[in-house]
Amino acid sequence: MKNLETARTRVEELRALIRENDRHYWLEAAPQISDQEYDRLYRELKDLEAEHPQLVTPDSPTQRVSGAPLEEFAQITHRTPMLSLDNTYSEAEVVEFFRRMIRLLPSETIRTVIEPKVDGVAISVFYKNGRLQYAATRGNGTVGDDVTQNVRTIRTIPYSLQGLAPDEVEIRGEVFFPKKAFRKVNEEREQAGESLFANPRNAAAGTLKQLDSRIAAARGLGVIFYGFGYYSGSELSSHQESLARLAEWGLPAPVKTWKAESPEAVIEAIKALDEIRHDLPYETDGAVVKVDDYQQREALGYTSKAPRWAIAYKYQAERAETQLLSIEVQVGRSGKLTPVANLSPVLLSGTTVSRATLHNGEEIKRKDIRVGDHVLIEKSGEIIPAVLEVVLARRTGHEKRFEMPSKCPSCGEPVVQTPGQIDVRCVNVECPEQVKRRLEHFAHRGAMDIEGLGTMMVAQLVERGLVRRVDHIYALDGEALGGLERMGKKSVRNLLDAIEASKKQPMWRLVFGLGILHVGATAARELGDFFGTLDALRKASLEELQKAPNTGDVVAQSIRDWFDNKDNQDLIEALRRHGLNFGKGEEAAKVDDRLEGKTWVITGTLSEPREVFADLIRSHGGRVAGSVSGKTDFLLAGEEAGSKMEKARSLNVRVVNEEEFRQLIG
Q: Where are the alpha helices (DSSP H) in 156-259?
A: 179-191, 200-208, 213-219, 239-248
pLDDT reported for residue 426: 93
Show which of 274, 297, 314 is a domain's final residue.
314
Please report whether residue 493 resides in a domain.
yes
pLDDT reported for residue 65: 47
Q: Are 341 and 388 in contact (CB under 8 A)?
A: no
Domain shared by 365 and 397, yes or no: yes
Show which of 482, 502, 522 is a domain's final residue.
502
Nearest to 550 by CA among 631, 446, 604, 642: 631
pLDDT reported for residue 1: 45
Any idea what the CATH number is for the domain that residue 298 is in?
3.30.470.30
Please report whether residue 517 resides in a domain.
yes
Q: Are 15 and 23 in contact (CB under 8 A)?
A: no
Domain shared by 250 and 141, yes or no: yes
- The angle at the Cα of 423, spanning 23 to 558, to the nearest 5 degrees, equals 65
Please report whether residue 100 resides in a domain.
yes
Domain shared by 262 and 347, yes or no: no
Interhelix angle 91-104/263-276, rounded to 10 degrees, is: 140
Residue type, 97: F
Mean pLDDT, the chain cut into blocks of 10 residues (666 residues total): 76 81 56 71 84 77 56 80 89 95 94 95 94 91 88 88 91 93 80 70 85 76 94 87 93 93 96 91 92 95 86 88 96 89 85 86 93 88 76 95 95 88 86 93 88 91 93 93 90 94 93 88 83 93 86 87 93 95 63 84 78 78 80 86 79 90 87
Please report whether residue 54 resides in a domain.
yes
440 phi and psi angles, rounded to 5 deg: -60, -45
pLDDT reported for residue 27: 46
Domain shared by 544 and 616, yes or no: no
Domain shared by 241 and 349, yes or no: no
pLDDT reported for residue 429: 81
Question: Out of 117, 209, 290, 547, which one is annotated catalytic?
Answer: 117
Domain housing 27? 2-63
DSSP string, 586-616: TTTT----TTTT-EEEEESB-SS-HHHHHHH
Domain shared by 157 and 39, yes or no: no
Please report whether residue 99 resides in a domain.
yes
Show which of 291, 314, 337 is a domain's final residue.
314
Domain shared by 650 and 554, yes or no: no
Any idea what the CATH number is for the domain that residue 347 is in?
2.40.50.140
Respond yes or no: is residue 117 known to be catalytic. yes
Domain shared by 512 and 655, yes or no: no
Nearest to 287 by CA among 115, 84, 93: 115
**Sheet strands side by side (includes 634-637):** 623-625, 599-603, 634-637, 654-656
pLDDT reported for residue 193: 58
Please report whether residue 459 resides in a domain.
yes
Please report whether residue 588 resides in a domain.
no
Please report whether residue 587 resides in a domain.
no
Domain shared by 111 and 184, yes or no: yes
Domain shared by 48 and 161, yes or no: no
Nearest to 166 by CA among 242, 266, 226: 242
Helices (H) and strands (E) in the chain, counts: 24, 24
Domain shared by 143 and 128, yes or no: yes
Domain count, the chain: 6
